[in-house]
Amino acid sequence: MEFNPACPVPISQYPHVLLAHGGGGKLMHQLIGKMFLEAFRNPLLEPQHDAAVMELPGKKIAFTTDSHVVRPLFFPGGDIGSMAVHGTVNDLAMAGARPLYLSSAFIIEEGLPMEMLWKIICSMRDAAKKCGVQIVTGDTKVVDKGKGDSLFINTAGVGVIEHEQKIAPQNVQPDDAILVSGDLGRHGMAIMAVREGLEFESKIESDSAPVHEVVLDLLKAGIEIHCLRDLTRGGLASALNEIAEVAGMKIAVEEKSIPVREDVHAACEMLGLDPLHVANEGRFIAFVAAKDSERALEILRRHEVSANAALIGRVVKKSAPLVTLKSAIGVQRILDMASGEQLPRIC
Amino acid sequence: MKFLDEYRDAGLAEQFARELHRVTTRPWKIMEVCGGQTHAIVKFGIDELLPKEITLIHGPGCPVCVTPLEMIDKALEIAARPGVIFTSFGDMLRVPGSTTDLLSVKAKGGDVRMIYSPLDAVKLAELNPAKEIVFFGVGFETTAPATAMAVYQAAQKKFANFSMLISHVLVPPAIEALMSSPNCRVQGFLAAGHVCTVMGFEEYFPLAAKYRVPIVVTGFEPLDILQGVLMTVKQLESSRAEVENQYSRSVCREGNLPAQELIKKIFKVVPRKWRGIGEIPQSGLGLNDEYAAFDAEKKFGVAESRVEESAECLSGLVLQGQIKPHECPAFGVKCTPEHPLGAPMVSGEGACAAYYRYRRQN
């Protein structure tokens, strides 16, 4: 891990987090004051009240929460801190909201190196700044050594809805175009590669990134969006099946049009995994009115985070929930959710 | 992707399919032996491109599926012991024994780890001298060299804390058992390309001659399988029963000789029970006497048990190609990947799981 001298760890007397840092006494106040408050400083956090008090523009708000658990804490293309910000920002974006405020709750396992914690806090600070959101309230708990996996972060988020569109699975219509915002499978394979010590010729980096700006652009351009869903755990296959289920629709996608990077595809083939089941942290699907699909694709492709966006299929009709995939050799089959965790094959 | 997309070309697939329609004049039943091929057939929908006269029968070539319940129970018993790190390939972890599975043993505190190579288990033995490291050695001839290499390395390094629970099986005796069964419907075989990459295909000549059955060594991509079927059908239509090699980019007649040497050095051929089929003589690999110290069954003294399979599970008939997965009354009703009654519903390569995943509306 690189040490950045411009950003030294504010607490120098303890190289590791102690139980006492969560005990409510001086050490905890020091941790909160010198690390969290210092990094996340903003007028709403400043009063250090039990709850942040804020005014929200408009009438409709979106509110979400997400807990982040990832091993290792730092992975190619990101870390738990930036991921905790992106994850909640993206959840708000999927409701068509402009993300404004986040909370951050840290559950720290005793013994976590202080320098590592600081690096994660700084990463959260930078990610929040980039996303244009403020971290306005938080909580810290320290648990006994062995009772946590180094660090868990929960972030809740509030955003405002500044349009009249109904964005929800129930609103999906027959003939809707289904767009995916970029290539699939990078986050899951990046994590698996480091976790299992697998070496591939090229380094696969996580796609962890905020997607709210491109969503807000789609809305601003008046694209008729019926549903949005981020493609985290379970990947594209789970997202499509969840939406088919709630909407009561048959959905058809085409394998050939789904972007998967060559190295990710190769790694998946080697392990017997399906990239359509692998997790992403900066990808989403959009169900848009067929008439708007070309224009939506153009807007998506203007943003770096969705430069490889593609039209992957459409909603066929109202029916018993079903997702079909036209395979590479042109035959239709079911695209099912993975059951449980994906397990690599024997041979 | 290079070396992969070429074998998934829709245009070429159609050409093969057209040729198959042209040459097929009678009904033929062809068995693909390997679970990897079953998976590809169902995933890509290869069978739907075939003439209706051709039936593909899904063979017993999924190592997870044919590992007997008793062996899984032994694995569960060893994995639950304190001081043991139990290692296995990923897809064995979810396979139910008679009471539970390895993932549940892990959840209850057992140290069960998924690894990608048996050599990783040897590394664990080196890093954890105070623990007993056990590897669940499962698979066909394809994975046998890696298992053998792990035993060889552990023996070289004199690791006393390393052992293996071995349930390796061999393909040719299974083909022989199927062909000699009075209910056998199979008229031609696609032999498993990866098995033959290791073993070559010399041992299939006597089988083809004895049972008058074409055997075509076949790869795993859609075009491989279509071409393998085409070669088999051409033989059947012209009353030939030969061994042919479709997968020549990976397989040569004599196979990988150093790998075979290693297998012979470490293992001996033993009788082995196959889940759903029963005991097949000379169909498995066990440790040579010289390496008996690495036998986890002996080391941990696990008791032999007799367990009954669920009577509702017809996986034995599926594994012998006598019924299709969806013809089993439990399929998709009492038996799903979340609550499997038998192993073919658990493994990604199992015929039942493949049918459930890709085409349960049929």
A327 in contact with B, Cβ within 8 Å: yes
For A298-322, what is each residue's pLDDT tens digit?
Answer: 999 999 999 999 999 999 999 999 9
pLDDT for the residue numbered A340: 65
Residue type, A180: V
- Angstrom distances, CA of residue A319 to CA of A326, B110, B130: 18, 45, 59
What is the nearest CA distance from A83 to chain B, expressed in angstroms? 26
Residues B258 and B330 in one domain: no
Instruction: For residue A196, give the DSSP letter.
Output: T
Facing residue for A265 by CB, picked from B1, B338, B359: B1
Cβ atoms of B118 and B146 within 8 Å: the answer is yes
For A194-221, what is each residue's pLDDT tens digit?
Answer: 887 777 767 899 999 999 999 999 999 9
Residues in A closer than 8 angstroms to B9, CB to CB, are 329
**Which of B35, B12, B46 minimizes the C-alpha distance to B225?**
B46
Residues B223 and B129 in one domain: yes
pLDDT for the residue numbered A3: 47
Residues B303 and B332 in one domain: no
The mean pLDDT value for A168-180 works out to 97
For B235-256, what is each residue's pLDDT tens digit?
Answer: 999 999 999 999 999 999 999 9
Residues B331 and B240 in one domain: no
> Does residue B304 fall inside a structural domain?
yes
The mean pLDDT value for B3-12 works out to 84
pLDDT for residue A67 is more than 60? yes
The mean pLDDT value for B324-341 works out to 89
Domains with residue ranges and CATH for chain A = 19-161 (3.30.1330.10), 169-334 (3.90.650.10)
The mean pLDDT value for A132-153 works out to 94
Instruction: For residue A120, give the DSSP letter.
Output: H
Domain with B177 in it: what CATH number? 3.40.50.11740
Facing residue for A345 by CB, picked from B1, B48, B90: B90
pLDDT for the residue numbered B2: 65
Residues B268 and B352 in one domain: no
Number of domains in chain B: 2
pLDDT for the residue numbered B226: 97
Helix and strand numbers (H, E) in chain B are 15, 11
Residues B255 and B344 in one domain: no
A51 in contact with B, Cβ within 8 Å: no
> Does residue B6 fall inside a structural domain?
no
Which residue in B has a C-alpha nearest to residue A327's C-alpha?
B44
Q: Assign B337 to helix, strand or coil.
A: coil
Question: What does DSSP say about strands B188-192 and B28-34: parallel, antiparallel, or unpaired?
Answer: parallel
| H-run or E-run covering A228 | strand A225-230
Distance CA A109, CA A147 (A): 7
Which residue in B has a C-alpha nearest to residue A321's C-alpha?
B361
Residues B306 and B323 in one domain: no
pLDDT for residue A270 is more than 70? yes
Is pLDDT larger for residue B332 or for residue A4?
A: B332
Residues B127 and B16 in one domain: yes
Q: Tokens 């169902």 sit at which residue? A: B42
The mean pLDDT value for B116-143 works out to 96
The mean pLDDT value for B109-131 works out to 95
pLDDT for the residue numbered B118: 95
- Find all residues with CB under 8 Å of A118, minimum gap 6, and list them: A7, A9, A10, A11, A35
Residues in A closer than 8 angstroms to B142, CB to CB, are 347
Helices (H), chain A: 26-31, 38-40, 80-94, 114-131, 186-195, 212-220, 235-247, 262-271, 293-302
The rounded percent of chain A whose pLDDT value lies above 70 is 95
Asked whether the beta carbons of residue A343 and residue B91 sit closer than 8 angstroms, the reply is yes
Residues B353 and B217 in one domain: no
Residues B236 and B159 in one domain: yes
pLDDT for the residue numbered B99: 84
What is the nearest CA distance from A255 to chain B, expressed in angstroms? 10
B143 in contact with A, Cβ within 8 Å: yes
Question: What does DSSP say about strands B111-114 and B84-88: parallel, antiparallel, or unpaired?
Answer: parallel
The mean pLDDT value for B29-34 works out to 94
What is the nearest CA distance from A99 to chain B, expressed in angstroms? 37
Q: How confident is the model at residue B1 (pLDDT cuts 50, 70, 90)?
A: low
pLDDT for residue B18 is more than 80? yes
pLDDT for the residue numbered A1: 44
The mean pLDDT value for B85-113 works out to 90
The mean pLDDT value for B128-146 works out to 96
Torsion A316-A320-A321-A324 (CA) sign: negative
Q: Assign B237 to helix, strand or coil.
A: helix
Facing residue for A272 by CB, picked from B2, B63, B348: B348
Q: Which of A121-135, A279-293, B93-107 has the lowest mean pLDDT?
A: B93-107
pLDDT for residue B346 is more than 90? no
The mean pLDDT value for B44-64 works out to 91
The strand order across the sheet containing B278-287 reads B111-114, B84-88, B132-139, B162-169, B278-287, B267-274
> Does residue B355 fall inside a structural domain?
yes
Distance CA A343, CA A274 (A): 10
B8 in contact with A, Cβ within 8 Å: yes
The rounded percent of chain B whose pLDDT value lies above 70 is 98
A196 in contact with B, Cβ within 8 Å: yes
B91 in contact with A, Cβ within 8 Å: yes
For A256-269, what is each residue's pLDDT tens digit?
Answer: 999 999 999 988 98
Give the side-chain half-sphere CA count within 13 A for A121: 28
pLDDT for residue A4 is more than 70? no
What is the nearest CA distance from B2 to chain A, expressed in angstroms? 9
Residue type, A279: A
**Chain B residues 16-55 within an 8 A CB cutoff of chain A:** 36, 42-46, 48-49
* Domain range for B353: 315-359
Which residue in B has a C-alpha nearest to residue A344's C-alpha?
B90
Q: Assign A177 to helix, strand or coil.
A: strand
pLDDT for residue A2 is more than 50? no
Give the side-chain half-sphere CA count within 13 A for B171: 33
A322 in contact with B, Cβ within 8 Å: yes
Asked whether the beta carbons of residue B138 and residue A346 sit closer than 8 angstroms, the reply is yes
Residues in B closer than 8 angstroms to A263, CB to CB, are none
Neighbours of A1 (CB within 10 A): 10
Asked whether the beta carbons of residue A343 and residue B93 sit closer than 8 angstroms, the reply is yes
Cβ atoms of A64 and A133 within 8 Å: the answer is no
pLDDT for the residue numbered A341: 67
Asked whether the beta carbons of residue A345 and residue B91 sit closer than 8 angstroms, the reply is yes
Q: What is the pTM of this model?
A: 0.86
**Which of B240, A293, B214 minimizes the C-alpha distance to A301?**
A293
